[in-house]
């Protein structure tokens, strides 16, 4: 009698925590790709055949071994906050929810290590307690997102104004990964070798543990500074971002139409004003106030770290792609882009794009340091969505004006931030760690028709 491979998995591994209710399997097959009307359409109905929540390395090894033997696809998942359908299984198989594999391993000497399913906020609590160090950069989803998800699908975010994106040399110290084979091998990759698996959406390695360089912990205060003019707000943000003596973790810019859509902050964002959102060290407050006065800004919101911790209300959850999430609650017809401006030309480019597409693309920018350490802006502007064709025209308009767009409306790895063919190192890692192409097959174009020769 022929037994379906999924049933064989259930029979052979009865002690694992299998999710059996179809609605829960369907939920675990989704992420936040619904931000994109294009992906929403393209990924509708993509569901795994089974979902499982391993809690130890030994369970993961047994699961991987049998999946490899039965040639069952595996989609790795943290908590599913990714935006490009990264954790959506394209060809069924098993969704492996790693959020229960979440042990803290150690924090010391400016570094920390944990199992991949640990949530970023929990990890940071541990490292702050162990030795007063915190994440160098983190997404605005840090409360729910996992280390593995940040490594596999994230870019950076809060803190990138100091340390650049996660991919900047020195941020990722190492990962321990497992090969998807009948006899799985567990391999430690250090430094640049580990980067071969970064932001490849779980398609070229299943990561078990992650080791990151960390930053000295600071009790960050949060502020909103508002301006009557677009340019004044942008220039103030740039001045703060560039001021070496002002210790900061976040510098974000909301143009007035974006600010208007952040309804929970309405009392602090007067109509028609453009805002800069800041997280600063307490000692930097007076220098910031001097600059705010110089640029004609006024502080409408100020909270100290202790109060933020007590109330658990943070402005960080209005920054980065949370801006889109909050805006979507009142304006369901919007979507967004992800753009990287050129350091040195970033202010001029932001202004030019604002002028060209005003009313249709609503400017939201985040100041960061780029891979070379220069201050620039990355942008997650809100887009009033009309048609997929128009969305594509807007993307082309940005590109024609010299702005890089990491298209968030695609689900193939090569079409996203990778921006074309994958680097040799990523391809070599895929060959080594996923020889049977079982990690969410269909996401890597080069492997679309099986393992390339
Ligand atoms: C409101 C909102 C705001 C956001 N803000 C930011 C932001 O500021 N910066 C940013 O970078 N991103 C942001 N994101 C995207 C996302 O939240 C982050 O990238 C987050 O780190 C993903 O973590 P996760 O645990 O949810 O990962 P998931 O969505 O579960 O997974 C993401 C990808 O990583 C892979 N993966 C997960 N675990 C592993 C593993 N152990 N081994 C190998 N691959 C693995 C998955 O297969 C998937 O491809 C935002 C998303 C939303 C919805």
Question: In angstroms, what is the span from residue 4 Cα to ligand 1's centroid?
Answer: 31
Question: In this prediction, what percent of the chain has a pLDDT beyond 70?
Answer: 100
Nearest to 139 by CA among 165, 114, 115: 165
For the domain made up of 221-405, give the CATH fold.
Answer: Vanillyl-alcohol Oxidase; Chain A, domain 3 (3.40.462)
Closest residue by Cα to atom 3, ligand 1, is 321
Q: Determine the pLDDT at residue 377.
A: 96
Q: How far apart are CA 52 and CA 68, in angstroms?
A: 16
Q: Determine the pLDDT at residue 270.
A: 98
Q: Determine the pLDDT at residue 228.
A: 98
Among the residues of 281-412, which ranges form H helices? Answer: 285-295, 305-311, 321-330, 346-357, 388-400
pLDDT digits (tens, 9 = 90+) for 365-416: 999 999 999 999 999 999 999 999 999 999 999 999 999 999 999 999 999 8
Question: In angstroms, what is the span from residue 412 Cα to ligand 1's centroid?
Answer: 16
pLDDT digits (tens, 9 = 90+) for 241-260: 999 999 999 999 999 999 99
Ligand 1 site, residue 338, Cβ cutoff 6 A: no
Question: In angstroms, what is the span from residue 233 Cα to ligand 1's centroid?
Answer: 30
Q: How far apart are CA 369 and CA 161, in angstroms?
A: 5
> Nearest 5 degrees, angle CA 381-CA 276-CA 281?
125
Residue 115 tokens read as 């199992």
**Beta-strand pair 334-336/382-384:** antiparallel
Q: Determine the pLDDT at residue 418.
A: 67
Q: Determine the pLDDT at residue 449.
A: 83
Ligand 1 site, residue 31, Cβ cutoff 6 A: yes
Ligand 1 site, residue 87, Cβ cutoff 6 A: yes
Under DSSP, is residue 290 helix (H, G, I), strand (E, B) or coil? helix
Question: In angstroms, what is the span from residue 248 Cα to ligand 1's centroid?
Answer: 24
Question: In this prediction, what percent of the chain has a pLDDT beyond 90?
Answer: 96
pLDDT digits (tens, 9 = 90+) for 125-159: 999 999 999 999 999 999 999 999 999 999 999 99
Ligand 1 site, residue 159, Cβ cutoff 6 A: no
Above 80 in pLDDT, residue 1? Answer: no
Q: Determine the pLDDT at residue 419.
A: 74
Q: How far apart are CA 311 and CA 364, in angstroms?
A: 26
pLDDT digits (tens, 9 = 90+) for 54-88: 999 999 999 999 999 999 999 999 999 999 999 99
Q: Determine the pLDDT at residue 452.
A: 81
pLDDT digits (tens, 9 = 90+) for 337-348: 999 999 999 999
pLDDT digits (tens, 9 = 90+) for 184-212: 999 999 999 999 999 999 999 999 999 99
Average pLDDT for residues 32-56, to the nearest whole number? Answer: 97
| Number of Cβ atoms within 10 Å of the Cβ of 449 | 8
pTM over 0.75: yes
Q: Determine the pLDDT at residue 421.
A: 86
Classify each residue of 3-22 as buried b or exposed e, where b means 16 or more C-beta atoms within 10 Å of its C-beta: eebbeebbeebeebebbeee
| Number of Cβ atoms within 10 Å of the Cβ of 322 | 20
Ligand 1 site, residue 155, Cβ cutoff 6 A: yes
Q: How far apart are CA 59 and CA 407, in angstroms?
A: 36
Question: In angstroms, what is the span from residue 145 Cα to ligand 1's centroid?
Answer: 6
pLDDT digits (tens, 9 = 90+) for 283-300: 999 999 999 999 999 999
The residues, any chain, with a CB within 8 Å of residue 20's CB and separated by 6 or more, are none
Ligand 1 site, residue 145, Cβ cutoff 6 A: yes
Closest residue by Cα to atom 31, ligand 1, is 149
| Number of Cβ atoms within 10 Å of the Cβ of 283 | 12
DSSP 320: T
Q: Determine the pLDDT at residue 453.
A: 74
Ligand 1 site, residue 79, Cβ cutoff 6 A: yes
Ligand 1 site, residue 150, Cβ cutoff 6 A: yes
Q: Which CATH number fits domain 1-217+412-453: 1.20.1250.20, 3.30.420.270, 3.30.465.10, 1.20.1730.10?
A: 3.30.465.10
Residue 367 tokens read as 């100041």
Nearest to 277 by CA among 308, 326, 241: 241
Question: In angstroms, what is the span from residue 156 Cα to ligand 1's centroid?
Answer: 10
- Rounded to 5 degrees, φ, ψ at 77 are -145, 140
Above 70 in pLDDT, residue 319? Answer: yes
Ligand 1 site, residue 83, Cβ cutoff 6 A: yes
Every domain of the chain and the residues it spans:
1-217+412-453, 221-405
8 Å CB contact between 102 and 147 = no
Residue 368 tokens read as 């960061």
Q: How far apart are CA 412 and CA 418, in angstroms?
A: 10
């Amino acid at each position: 009698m022929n037994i379906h491979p999924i049933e064989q998995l259930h029979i052979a591994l009865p002690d694992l925590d299998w999710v059996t209710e179809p609605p829960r399997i369907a939920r675990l097959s989704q992420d936040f790709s619904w931000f994109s009307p294009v992906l929403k359409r393209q990924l509708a109905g993509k569901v795994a055949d089974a979902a499982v929540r391993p809690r130890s390395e030994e369970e993961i090894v047994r699961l991987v071994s049998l999946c490899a033997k039965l040639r069952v696809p595996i989609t790795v998942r943290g908590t599913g906050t990714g935006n490009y359908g990264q954790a959506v299984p394209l060809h069924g198989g098993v969704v492996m929810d790693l959020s229960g594999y979440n042990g803290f391993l150690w924090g010391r000497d400016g570094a920390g290590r944990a199992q991949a399913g640990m949530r970023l906020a929990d990890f940071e609590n541990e490292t702050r307690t162990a030795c007063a160090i915190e994440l160098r950069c983190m997404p605005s989803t840090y409360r729910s997102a996992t280390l593995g998800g940040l490594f596999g699908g994230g870019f950076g975010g809060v803190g990138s104004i100091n340390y650049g994106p996660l991919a900047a040399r020195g941020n990722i110290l190492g990962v321990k990964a497992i090969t998807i084979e009948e006899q799985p091998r567990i391999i430690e990759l250090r430094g640049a070798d580990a980067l071969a698996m970064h932001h490849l959406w779980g398609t070229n390695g299943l990561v078990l543990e992650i080791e990151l360089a960390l930053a000295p912990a600071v009790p960050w205060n949060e502020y909103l500074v508002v301006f009557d003019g677009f340019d004044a707000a942008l220039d103030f943000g740039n001045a703060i971002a560039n001021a070496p003596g002002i210790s900061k973790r976040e510098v974000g810019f909301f143009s007035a139409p974006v600010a208007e859509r952040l309804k929970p902050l309405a009392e602090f964002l007067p109509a028609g004003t453009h805002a800069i959102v800041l997280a600063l060290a307490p000692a930097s407050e007076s220098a910031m106030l001097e600059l705010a006065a110089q640029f004609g800004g006024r502080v409408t919101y100020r909270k100290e770290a202790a109060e933020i911790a007590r109330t658990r209300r943070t402005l960080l959850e209005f920054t980065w792609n949370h801006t889109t999430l909050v805006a979507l609650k009142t304006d369901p017809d919007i979507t967004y882009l992800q753009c990287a401006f050129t350091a040195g030309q970033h202010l001029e480019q932001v202004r030019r794009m604002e002028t060209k597409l005003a009313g249709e693309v609503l400017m939201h920018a985040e100041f960061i340091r780029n891979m070379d350490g220069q201050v620039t802006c990355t942008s997650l502007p809100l887009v009033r969505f009309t048609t997929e064709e128009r969305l594509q025209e807007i993307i082309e308009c940005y590109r024609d004006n010299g702005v890089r767009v990491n298209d968030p409306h695609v689900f193939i790895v090569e079409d996203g931030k990778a921006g074309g063919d994958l680097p040799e190192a990523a391809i070599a890692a895929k060959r080594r760690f996923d020889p049977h192409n079982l990690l969410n097959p269909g996401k890597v174009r080069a492997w679309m028709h099986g393992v390339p020769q």
